[in-house]
Homo-oligomer: A and B are copies of this chain.
Amino acid sequence: MEKKILLEENEIPKYWYNILADMPSPIDPPLGPDGKPIAADALTPIFPMEIIKQEMSAQAEIPIPEEVRSYYAYWRPTPLIRATGMERALKTPAKIYFKNESVSPAGSHKPNTSVPQAYYNKLEGIKRLSTETGAGQWGSALAFACKLMNLECTVYMVKVSFQQKPYRASMIRTWGATIWPSPSNQTSVGREFLKKDPDNSGSLGIAISEAAEDAATHEDTHYSLGSVLNHVLLHQTVIGLEAKKQFEKIGEYPDVIIAPCGGGSNLGGISFPFYRDKFAGKNVRIVAVEPKSCPTLTRGEFRYDFGDSAGFTPLMKMFTLGHNYAPPSIHAGGLRYHGDSPIISYLVKNGLMEAISVDQLETFEAALLFAGTEGIIPAPESAHAIRGAIIEALNAKQEGKEKTILFNMSGHGNFDMSAYDDYLAGKLHNYEVTDEEIRQSLSSISSI
C-alpha cells in the first residue's frame, strides 16, 4: 500500500469547478447600500473584470489560464496521504486520508487563489494589491503571488496577530510586501478607530475596511480577499478536483469530507467538486468544523450582514454572529470571523452540509496526536479538521464500521509554535460564548 497518492504535473486541473452552476436553487445575491443587488460595475474600482465575472458566473467549469497552471506547478498537485500512523494510534477500522495543502511555499492552501487573483489583476494593468490578514496565512500567500508577478502588495495585519506572530510579518516582508499593523494611520477608517481607542488591537473586520479603502482610493490599486467570496472558493476547488482524481486512482471514494471553516475557502475548495456527485444522489457527508469560541454556522443567524466592521462591503446573506462580534483570541486566528461564505451558509441552511464546533484544547490534543503519528505539525486552524476526523474515526470504531474519511490539512504550524508552547505549558483555555453575547452582537445589526 502506498502512503501517498500522487498525481503528475499534467494532472493539475485544467478548470475550476463553479458550484453555483449546479445549486438546487439560486443563492441570494449581495446587496448594495440601496438594498438592491450589486451590479458588476460597482465592483470595478476594487476587482478586475475577470474576477467579477467569475464571482457571478453560472458556468460549471471555468478554464484555468495556462500561466496560472504553470505557477500552480511550483507546488501542485499536492499529495493525498493515507494517515496510517493516526489510524494505528486510534485503532480504528476507518481509513483516514488527508490532502496536504501545507506543501505550498506559503505553507497553506491560500496561494491557490492568491496566484490567480494576482494574475488577473496584472493582466488588467493593476500595479498594486491591498489586503488584510489575520493570522498571516493569507497575507503571506498574497505577498508570494505578487512577488512572482512583480506586483506591489500592501498588507493590513490585525495588530494583535502582528505582535503575536512576528515571523509571519517577516515572511511577508521577505517577499517584498509592505505591512501595516491594523488599525493603522494609513487609512481614514484606521485613524477613526485609533482616535476612539489608541490601543485598539484590531480585528479582521477593521483590517478588511482598511484594505478596501486603500484600494478604492488609489487608481492603480485593487483589493484582494482570501476567503468568503465565490471566486475565492472557486479557485480553491483545485484541492477537491485533485482529491477526486486521487481517489479514482485507488478505486475509493470518501464517505465523509471534513475541513476547518473560518470564511469557508479551504472547506469549499476540498468539498465542492464532490457536490457534483452529491447533487446527483451520491451519498457523501460534508462536515464543517468551527471553534466553539466563534460558532458562526452552529449558533449564528442566517441573514444579511456586512463582511467587515465598518460596513463598507456589500451585504451578504450568510450565517453571522454580527459584524461587530469580537471572538476570544484563540490561536486559530484564521477561524475568527463573524460571518461565512454565502455558498457555505446556503449549503448548511439547506441541510446539504453539517457543521460542528470544537473546543480549543481538544484541537491541540488532536494536533499533537497528528504531529506524533504523521510527522506534520499542523496549523491550529487545520487541527480543527483533524479533531473532526478523530471524532468520525472513533465513531466508526464504536460502530465497528469501515469508513473512508477525508480531511483537509490546510496548512502547517511552523509559524504557530508559540501556540504549541502555550498548550504544552498548560496556558490555553476553552471559550464558550453565551447565548446572551450572541444575541447582543446580533441585535446591533438589527437595523440593516
Residues B105 and A167 in contact, CB atoms below 8 Å apart: no
Q: Does A356 contact B (CB under 8 A)?
A: no
Residues A170 and B85 in contact, CB atoms below 8 Å apart: no
- Residue A2 contacts which of B73, B167, B176, B373 (CB distance < 8 angstroms)? B73
What residue in chain B is nearest A170 (Cβ atoms)? B417
Residues A2 and B6 in contact, CB atoms below 8 Å apart: no
Residues of B within 8 A of A10 (CB): 2
- Residue A418 contacts which of B6, B170, B374, B376 (CB distance < 8 angstroms)? B170
Q: Does A103 contact B (CB under 8 A)?
A: yes
**How far, in whole Å, are A170 and B424 apart by their CA atoms in the complex?**
9
Residues of B within 8 A of A415 (CB): 414
Among A148, A170, A414, A421, which residue has the most Cβ atoms of chain B within 10 A?
Answer: A170
Residues A368 and B421 in contact, CB atoms below 8 Å apart: no
The number of residues on chain A lying at the interface, defined by a beta carbon within 8 Å of a beta carbon of chain B, is: 42
Kindly list 18 other residue pairs between chains A and B, CB separation below 8 angstroms, not including A2-B10, A3-B73.
A2-B73, A4-B73, A6-B8, A75-B375, A103-B103, A105-B376, A105-B377, A106-B375, A147-B371, A166-B417, A166-B421, A167-B167, A170-B417, A171-B377, A173-B420, A173-B424, A174-B371, A174-B377
Q: Does A175 contact B (CB under 8 A)?
A: yes
Residues A174 and B73 in contact, CB atoms below 8 Å apart: no
Q: Does A107 contact B (CB under 8 A)?
A: yes
Interface residues of A in 360-379 (CB under 8 A from B): 368, 371-377
Residues A417 and B171 in contact, CB atoms below 8 Å apart: yes
Residues of B within 8 A of A372 (CB): 147-148, 175-176
**Smallest beta-carbon distance A103→chain B, Å:** 6
A-B contact pairs, 20 of them (CB 8 A): A2-B73, A3-B73, A3-B74, A6-B8, A105-B376, A107-B414, A144-B375, A148-B372, A167-B417, A170-B418, A170-B420, A171-B377, A171-B414, A171-B417, A173-B420, A173-B421, A174-B368, A174-B420, A174-B424, A414-B414
**How far, in whole Å, are A166 and B372 apart by their CA atoms in the complex?**
20
**Smallest beta-carbon distance A437→chain B, Å:** 32
Q: Does A70 contact B (CB under 8 A)?
A: yes
**How far, in whole Å, are A290 and B366 apart by their CA atoms in the complex?**
41
Q: Does A9 contact B (CB under 8 A)?
A: yes
**Smallest beta-carbon distance A418→chain B, Å:** 7
Residues of B within 8 A of A148 (CB): 85, 372-373, 375
**How far, in whole Å, are A173 and B3 apart by their CA atoms in the complex?**
26
What residue in chain B is nearest A374 (Cβ atoms)? B74
- Residue A3 contacts which of B70, B107, B166, B368 (CB distance < 8 angstroms)? B70
Residues A170 and B421 in contact, CB atoms below 8 Å apart: yes
Interface residues of A in 144-175 (CB under 8 A from B): 144, 147-148, 166-167, 170-171, 173-175
Interface residues of A in 368-398 (CB under 8 A from B): 368, 371-377
**Smallest beta-carbon distance A224→chain B, Å:** 18
**How far, in whole Å, are A307 and B2 apart by their CA atoms in the complex?**
40
Among A166, A377, A424, which residue has the most Cβ atoms of chain B within 10 A?
Answer: A377
